[in-house]
Structure formats: structure tokens, C-alpha cells
Structure 1
Amino acid sequence: MELKAKGFTSIKALLVEDIEVCRLVLSTFLLRLHCEVTLAMNGKEAVDLFLEGKKFDIVLFDKDMPVITGPEAIVKIRAMGETDVKIVGVSADNHAMEAFMGAGADLFVPKPIRMEALGPIIQDVINKKTNDMV
């Protein structure tokens, strides 16, 4: 499912989260940060989107999900040659950082994630995209 923020947006975000309330909170944050948001319920759905040729500027992954976990999906996505997309692991699990970073994530943010933590990450993606266009 795709959600679009009002106004112009150039950042395409993929949110991979199996818990509905977490999806709602994080997608609201991303929309407020003017991202175009695509939702996936598990790692397999995320991998399938990349296999279909979809491109994203940033992906936020939960760790423990049915079918394929966040770290497993990251390994598959990186193996496809997707190195430009910023991948952020998001979890309340105490050992999640090691799992995400070992799988190829760029960053880890513990849950509950706050808007103040997400804003600078999105700004970095915007800055990188702007610099790549120059």
C-alpha cells in the first residue's frame, strides 16, 4: 500500500513492519517528513518489491516478522546489488543492533522511535539525493 504526503516529495520510503500500531505511528512520522510511503507487512513483501524493480531512498525494517525477518531481508536486498538505498533497522530487541548491522543495515534506531530521531535520518537522505543530482 502506498501513502503520499501532501505537497511535493522526492523521498521514497519503504516501511516494513508487521504490527499495525507501529506501522501507523512510523508511517505518520514519514508522511509528516514529506516521504512517499510504501508499506510491507514482512521481509518477503519487501524483497518482492525490490525484485519487481521498485526503488526506494530509505527502508525502515522491523526485526522479528513472519515469513522473512528484517535482517534476512536485508541480506537478500543487499545481495541484489541494492547498495544505494539507506536501510534502517528499528526494533525494541536488545540484540537487534548486531543482527541488523551484520546483515548490512546502515543504521539502527531502537523502538520506540521518536520523530526527533527520524527527522535527521530523512534529512541525510534528502541531502545525499540532492548532492547526487548535482
Structure 2
Amino acid sequence: MASNAQGSPVKALLVDDTAVDALILSTKLRKFHCETTVAKTGKEALDLFHEGKKFDIVLCDKDMPIMNGLEAVEKIRAMGEIDVKIVGLSADYDATEVFMSAGADAFVPKPMKLDVLSAIIQDVINKKNNTMV
């Protein structure tokens, strides 16, 4: 079980237009005591950053209405958000290259397995703890 020694929860932004997928993933994130915000489109995610919200990790679906995940990732990076870990999600197993070229740090095919999520969250916690020194 991933836990943050410093006590501050990992702030996660989950961007997915499919309610069932968002519910399943946010339930998994809760197991790691993440403080999770859900956005249904890439535009909603971008709006949160424009409002000054800060996240440690963004889990972003590829195919969404209004603004897709790739465009959202590019725009988040273009805003200067380089410290946030961005993980692309898709049922398309071949989406690694498009997400990485958009600026994502990683790509995970859906459905995301708990052990994969655990490793990603632990990485974010370790990075967070190292930068707080």
C-alpha cells in the first residue's frame, strides 16, 4: 500500500468522460488515499489548471468530447505545468506514442491494473517527498 510519509495526500486529477471508468479509477485511487478531482473533458481539466488548482498526477483518457486527452496534455504542458506527472489512458493499446509526443510521462492501457497504479502513485509520492526536503 502506497502511503506518503509526509502525510499530505497525492492530489490526482482524473480526466475521463465515461462515468463507469471514472468511478472505477477514482475508487482505486482512494485505496492509495489520493485526493481525487474528476473532470469529464480535457477542457474541464484545463479550466481547473487555469483556476490555479495544482495536482501531483493527471490520469487522462484519450477519447473525450469537446477536447480530447492528447490536446489537453499538450495544453497543460504549454501552460508550464512540467512538474505534474501525466499518465495517458486508453483502451487503444497503441496510444503510447501519441500520448508521449503530446507530453505525457507514461501511458497505461485501460483497464488500469491496481499494481500498475500502485507503482505510479508510489513514484509520485517519492518525488513529492524528495522535493519537500
TM-score in terms of structure 2 length: 0.93
- 2:87 is matched by which residue type in structure 1? V
Q: Which one has more relative contact order, counting CA pairs under 8 Å at least 6 apart?
A: 2
Distance 2:96 2:80 in 1: 22
| Pairwise CA distance, 1:97 | 1.1
Residue pair 1:60, 1:90 contacting (<8 A) in 2 also = yes
- For residues 85-114 of structure 1, the C-alpha deviation after alignment (integer angstroms, 9 at most, x for no partner) is 000001111331111111000000011111
Counting aligned pairs with the same residue, the percent is 65
Aligned to 1:57: 56
Q: Hey, which bits of structure 1, 4+ residues long, moved more than 4 A?
A: none
Runs of 5+ consecutive residues of structure 2 not aligned to the other structure: 1-6
Instruction: Quote the Cα distance in structure 2 between the aligned partners of 1:49 and 1:96.
Output: 25
- 5+ residue gaps, structure 1, are 1-7
Structure 1: how far apart are the matches of 2:33 and 2:64?
26
Distance 1:128 1:78 in 2: 18
Q: CA deviation at 1:9?
A: 4.3
Which string of whole-angstrom CA distances, capped at 9 and with x for unpartnered residues, describes residues 57-107 of structure 1?
A: 000000000000001001001000000000000111133111111100000
Corresponding letter in the other structure for 1:133:
M
Q: Distance in 1 between matches of 2:127 and 2:42?
A: 25
Cα distance in 2, alignment partners of residues 94 and 108 from structure 1: 9
Matched, 1:32 2:27: no
2:102 maps to what in 1? Answer: 103
Which residue of structure 2 aligns with residue 131 of structure 1? 130
User: Aligned ranges for residues 3-42 of structure 1 at < 5 Å?
Assistant: 9-42=8-41
Tell me how far apart the structure 1 counterparts of residues 91 and 20 of structure 2 sit (CA, whole Å): 14
Residue identity opposite 1:41 in structure 2: K
Alignment partner of 1:77 is 2:69 = no
Give the corresponding residue for 1:117.
116
Output the CA distance in 1 between the equivalents of 2:95 and 2:63.
Answer: 9
